[in-house]
């Protein structure tokens, strides 16, 4: 938890952006795994964490614009709770740590909201992603569960996105720490890589780095020799010499700030000539993408620039053909690079995605491009100092996609399908780094960059 003034200032900032009414920020509750008292690891809602700081289940935060009070609703622990969980602080003591004097038992939330509704006041709440909170809004405000997301306040969503998009210095320090743990997760897996073990053993070792520090991963680890499946969570294969292995993983540290990096490396520890060629193109796209990140530049333009580096590289080795600018304008690169270049990162690995991707990544000026591949770009808008985002280009050989485009002659003037088909079985290469946009440009998060050049990768893989 940060100093209480951090939370006081954040709530003041939010008040300034909402004209009138009551802001309701729901915290998360425990989530049962297979019976009520056997729960998943608790994860607080990121908006509640951001504005109210308490990392415990069972709270709701209220910011009343007109009466100027911030309140926390939640119940004190009972004696029974303390028998099972040990001594616990009172809600009042917890609230004081985040600069709040008004606390109420949860049963009073309904009357507070009902009174506001009777007085014709607007209750602003954010989109909800957990069933228990959707049902609570139904119960207390009479909005049927299927309509809750439609009643979310766009004014509040936009205000929260504006505030959370620009990271404070205290947040940047946490993001640096998360990246340092991510560095250890990746280098541990790289060192332990060797033919004959399973992918799952590397997943366990990487996840163990985070868990051993009391942390967790920021999303389920993606690790596979079939790196062409973008979010591959099947880790059952045995590592085989000659194949590439892709690992996309990050840490979520105790403050819940995230990291998110991808590396791809040869199982044997040395690249074959074609692996080196494809890897070098992706690395050039990564470095070009990072180089372009600075305030005032749209991330959509950086995505398209990275796409051109990929199309140029593939043209140079005969897999694509024709004019590179035309190829990218027609979306031909997307057969190999079918996803976006990156996303915002912070308390969530895809930061604020619960609020709606378009609110986070786009605005009145920049809208999503509706073309296969680029349509998946989560962040398009103009960068500002303090934004934290990922840069993650990739090249993949997806058999079903190559087959479809070849059968339907999609972009056939830009693709040498015979050459592409030869690389079915190659897998995929993605490289991902986390970037802080600074006043004049950017810097990578964390104290060290995870090995990324061909020489660095060959030096570390298998040296565990």
Binding site for Mn ion (CB under 5 A): 248, 260, 390, 432
229 binds ligand GLY (CB under 6 A): no
If one asks whether residue 260 binds ligand GLY (CB under 6 A), the answer comes out as: yes
Candidate residues 45, 201, 248, 357; the one interacting with ligand GLY per rule CB under 6 A:
248
Q: Is 392 in the site for ligand GLY (CB under 6 A)?
A: yes
228 scored as a contact of ligand GLY (CB under 6 A): no
Q: Pick between residue 344 and residue 355 the one whose CB is nearest to Mn ion.
A: 344
Q: Does 219 bind ligand GLY (CB under 6 A)?
A: yes
Shortest Å distance, C-beta 461 to Mn ion: 19
Measured CA angle at 18 (ends 15, 23), to 5 deg: 75
- Of 349 and 360, which CB lies nearer to ligand GLY in the complex structure? 349
228: partner contacted, choices Mn ion, ligand GLY, none (Cβ within 5-8 A by kind): none
- Residue 174 or 248: the one with the smaller Cβ distance to ligand GLY is 248
Binding of ligand GLY at residue 433 (CB under 6 A)? no
Residue 220 C-beta: closest distance to Mn ion, Å: 11
The interface mask with ligand GLY, positions 334-363, x = CB under 6 A, is ---------x-----x--------------
Which of ligand GLY, Mn ion, none does 199 bind, CB closer than 5 to 8 A by kind? none
Are 265 and 190 spatial neighbours (Cβ–Cβ below 8 Å)?
yes
219 interacts with, out of Mn ion, ligand GLY, none, CB within 5 to 8 A per kind: ligand GLY
Q: Give me the residues that bind ligand GLY (CB under 6 A), please.
A: 219, 248, 260, 343, 349, 392, 432
């Amino acid at each position: 938890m940060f100093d209480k003034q951090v939370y006081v200032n954040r709530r003041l900032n939010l008040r300034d952006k909402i004209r009138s009414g009551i802001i309701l920020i729901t915290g998360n509750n425990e989530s049962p795994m297979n019976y009520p008292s056997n729960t998943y690891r608790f994860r607080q809602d990121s908006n509640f964490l951001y504005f109210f700081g308490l990392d415990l289940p069972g709270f709701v935060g209220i910011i009343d614009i007109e009466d100027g009070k911030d309140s926390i609703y939640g119940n004190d622990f009972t004696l029974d709770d303390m028998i099972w969980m040990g001594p616990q602080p009172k809600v009042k003591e917890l609230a004081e740590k985040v600069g709040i004097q008004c606390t109420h038992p949860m049963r009073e939330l309904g009357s507070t909201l009902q009174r506001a509704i009777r007085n014709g006041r607007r209750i602003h709440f954010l989109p909800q992603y957990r069933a228990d909170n959707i049902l609570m809004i139904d119960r207390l405000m009479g909005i049927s569960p299927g309509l809750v997301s439609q009643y979310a306040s766009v004014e509040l969503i936009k205000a929260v996105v504006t505030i959370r998009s620009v990271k404070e210095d205290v947040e940047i320090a946490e993001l640096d720490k998360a990246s340092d743990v991510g560095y250890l997760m990746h280098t541990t897996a790289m060192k332990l890589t060797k033919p004959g073990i399973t992918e799952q053993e590397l997943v366990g070792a990487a996840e163990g780095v985070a868990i051993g520090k009391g942390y967790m991963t920021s999303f389920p680890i993606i690790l596979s020799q079939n790196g062409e499946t973008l979010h591959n969570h099947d880790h059952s294969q045995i590592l085989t010499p000659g194949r590439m292995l892709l690992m996309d993983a990050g840490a979520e540290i105790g403050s819940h700030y995230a990291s998110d990096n991808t590396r791809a490396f040869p199982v044997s520890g040395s690249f074959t000539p074609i692996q080196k060629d494809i890897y070098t193109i992706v690395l050039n796209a990564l470095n070009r993408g990072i180089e372009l990140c600075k305030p005032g530049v749209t991330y959509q333009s950086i995505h398209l620039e990275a796409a051109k580096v990929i199309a140029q590289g593939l043209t140079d080795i005969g897999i694509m053909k024709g004019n590179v600018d035309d190829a990218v304008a027609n979306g031909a690169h997307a057969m190999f690079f079918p996803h976006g270049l990156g996303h915002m990162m912070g308390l969530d690995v895809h930061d604020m995605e619960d609020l709606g991707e378009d609110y986070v990544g786009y605005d009145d000026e920049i809208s999503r491009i509706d073309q296969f591949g680029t349509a998946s770009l989560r962040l398009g808008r103009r960068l500002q100092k303090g934004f934290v985002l990922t840069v993650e280009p990739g090249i993949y050989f997806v058999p079903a996609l190559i087959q479809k485009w070849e059968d339907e002659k999609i972009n056939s003037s830009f693709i040498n399908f015979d050459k592409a088909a030869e690389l079915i079985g190659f897998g995929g290469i993605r490289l991902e780094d986390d970037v802080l946009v600074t006043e004049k440009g950017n810097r990578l998060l964390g104290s060290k960059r995870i090995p990324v050049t061909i020489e660095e990768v060959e030096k570390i893989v298998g040296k565990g």
